[in-house]
Amino acid sequence: MIHTVPVPLPGRAYDVRIGPGLIARAGAEIAPLLARPRVAIVTDETVAAAHLGTLQAALKAEGIDSEALRLPAGEATKSWEQLQACTEWLLDQRVERRDVVIALGGGVIGDLVGFAAAILRRGVRFVQLPTSLLAQVDSSVGGKTGINTRHGKNLVGAFHQPALVLADTAVLDTLPPRDLLAGYGEVVKYGLLGDADFFAWLEDNGPVLARGDAAARAHAVRRSVEMKAEIVLRDETEQGDRALLNLGHTFGHALEAATGYSDRLLHGEGVAIGCALAFDLSARLGLCPQEDPSRLAAHLRAMGMKATLSDIPGGLPDAEGLLDLMGQDKKVIDGRLRFVLARGIGRAFVASDVPGDTVRAVLADALKA
């Protein structure tokens, strides 16, 4: 069963198609977008080994030729060096403005290839084939693309909407469990930020979803994409409501920086811990009852996820050091910390003037726990 979530942005509307088996029918799905029967695919080595053959066969079945570039897997690929390699390769392939570039992979590939497509010949169309849970529920939708620099994550990029997203939920079967749970961190985020019923559904269904239940996975991807699409439609370039999607990210990005963007902490793991800290902060500021952070921590623990700072292997900077890292984040406006806080589960809002002392106290307590 394939579901379609439309993203009707004026002038650049596209569909997010969700369900099992979409890569095997990608040729038929993508053919209507093509001016000539030829595409360039960029993927990573791990995803290529598992799914590139299926994709190329599906394209071939519709008479579409394809060439593929395999980049190293992992966050370090969102770099200037790989952006250059990818862009030069696309030019080597003589990709023209009317052509379509395919990003096959997780959020790293989607962000990098989307950015390459945005700047190549001042913008070519691209199709997202997200293969990680994180990419299916979040990064493939909404048009944020970019790379990391030595100054921090996602500091160079562009808004460039895809022409189509095909989220094949069956490919999640080959995703390592740790990456699946990291992506689940972003799924939980949607419940926390705007849908308490969805959070309750996740409390009931998260464990079977993690064990491989196909229907639960498809439902979680669909609900997450619906919520993301709805927010992106309201605020494509993050002038307001789109910032809600950053719940957990101010803390999470600081933790990713503190761990050197290494596999000590995956992005989605940082988001899950960041959500827990954002709820701790909200409770400490008297915005939500203490039961809410406790309920969230209980759910993360029930899922076998990292839930607090002591779950991160290796040492971390002290509270002051972590606060400094937050200062590097894009979400700082005029030196004041901007946080997404919550008045309860499903009731997040953007707070622009959060007292640094309270944040420091939350971090100090979490470091002691």
Ligand X SMILES: NC(=O)c1ccc[n+]([C@@H]2O[C@H](COP(=O)([O-])OP(=O)(O)OC[C@H]3O[C@@H](n4cnc5c(N)ncnc54)[C@H](O)[C@@H]3O)[C@@H](O)[C@H]2O)c1
Q: Is residue 270 close enough to count as binding ligand X by CB under 6 A?
A: no
Candidates 55-63, 128-136, 230-238, 323-331: pick the segment binding ligand X (CB under 6 A): 128-136
Q: Is 117 in the site for ligand X (CB under 6 A)?
A: no
Taking CA atoms, 362 is separated from 260, 264, 356, in Å, by: 22, 22, 10
Burial level of 9, CB count in 10 A (0-12/13-18/19+)? middle
Exposed, middle or buried by CB within 10 Å (0-12, 13-18, 19+), for 367?
A: middle
**Quick one: tokens of 306?**
């990292």
Q: Which element (helix H / strand E) includes 342? A: strand 339-342
Residue 82, token pair as written in the block: 């790989």
108 binds ligand X (CB under 6 A): yes
23 binds ligand X (CB under 6 A): no
Considering the complex, state which of residue 183 and residue 293 has its C-beta at the smaller distance from ligand X: 183
> Applying CB under 6 A, does 142 fall inside the site for ligand X?
yes
Neighbours of 213 (CB within 10 A): 14
Q: Does 278 sit near ligand X (CB under 6 A)?
A: no
Give the 3-state secondary structure of residue 304. Answer: coil
**Number of residues in contact with ligand X, rule: CB under 6 A?**
32
Nearest distance from C-beta of residue 40 to ligand X, angstroms: 19
Query: Does 27 contact ligand X by CB under 6 A?
Result: no
Among 30, 64, 73, 265, binds ligand X (CB under 6 A): 73
CB closer to ligand X, 118 vs 288: 118
Q: Is 319 helix (H, G, I), strand (E, B) or coil?
A: helix
186 carries an active-site annotation: yes
Nearer to ligand X among residue 171 and residue 221 (C-beta): 171
Please tell me whether residue 267 binds ligand X under the rule CB under 6 A: yes
The residues that bridge with 18 in the sheet, in sequence order, are: 3, 167
Residues 152, 126: Cα–Cα separation, whole Å = 25
- Tell me if 154 contacts ligand X by CB under 6 A: yes
Q: Which of 30, 165, 175, 229 binds ligand X (CB under 6 A)?
A: 175
Residue-wise DSSP of 118-179: HHGGG--EEEEEE-SHHIIIIITSS-EEEEEETTEEEEEEEE---SEEEEEGGGGGGS-HHH
305 binding ligand X? (CB under 6 A): no
Write out the residues near ligand X by the rule CB under 6 A.
Answer: 44, 46-47, 50, 73-75, 78, 105-109, 111, 131-132, 134-135, 138-139, 142, 144, 153-154, 171, 174-175, 179, 182-183, 267-268
Catalytically active residues are 122, 144, 186, 228, 238, 242, 246, 249, 253, 267
